[in-house]
Amino acid sequence: MSAPLTERAKMLAGDWYCCLDPEIEALRQTAFDAVHEHNTLHPAARQGAGPKLAALLGTFAPNALIEGQFHCTYGFNIHMETEAFMNVGCVVLDSARVEIGARSMLGPNVQIYCADHHRDPVKRGQLIERALPVRIGADVWIGGGAIILPGVSIGDRAIVGAGSVVTKDVPADAKVAGNPARVIG
């Protein structure tokens, strides 16, 4: 008989898990330390990302850049390809894998959420959630203040209008805007 999965293993597998867990909390604290260093470094010293944050990220390709006042939950689930860019104030709640393709640009205050809370109010009150990945293709432009919800994929070369709430997948080359985001033009 195999041992039961840890809450971290359930999180990484996309299963329902309890986010109030000592191992998961330790991972969050490591990320918070790296984010604090990143956000308090002088921009010239930070370069693409602060040293602790760059080391923590799952992938941080050459010439990728994360501006200050950034926040993430774990860091190791974030994968940024060549020349990917996050402007000031981006928030990535990366309980699952987040891929940001080459040359994709995220405007100020873009938010990416992977946590999907339980629909049952009792389980939600017990902090039961699951983690759904987010994929942003290459050459994507996401306008400031947009929110990308759990499980969404955005195709290559797509444009997401500022302030949009993206609840569903966006096809390659599409332009979407609104709340919820819909194909425009």
Task: Quote the pTM value.
Answer: 0.95
Write out the catalytic residue numbers.
Answer: 117
What's the total number of domains in the chain?
Answer: 1
In a domain, 2, yes or no: no
Among all chains, which residue has been given the structure tokens 């946590």? Answer: 115
In a domain, 39, yes or no: yes
pLDDT (tens digit per residue) in 65-99: 999 999 999 999 999 999 999 999 999 999 999 99
In a domain, 1, yes or no: no
Would you place residue 171 in the very low, low, confident or very high pLDDT band (cuts 50, 70, 90)?
very high
Q: What is the pLDDT of residue 27?
A: 98
- Domain hosting 79: range is 7-183
Which CATH number does the domain housing residue 162 bear? 2.160.10.10
In a domain, 90, yes or no: yes
pLDDT (tens digit per residue) in 1-59: 777 899 999 999 999 999 999 999 999 999 999 999 999 999 888 889 999 999 999 99
Cα–Cα distances in angstroms (integers) from residue 79 to residues 47, 62, 120, 159, 163, in the given order: 17, 12, 32, 20, 23
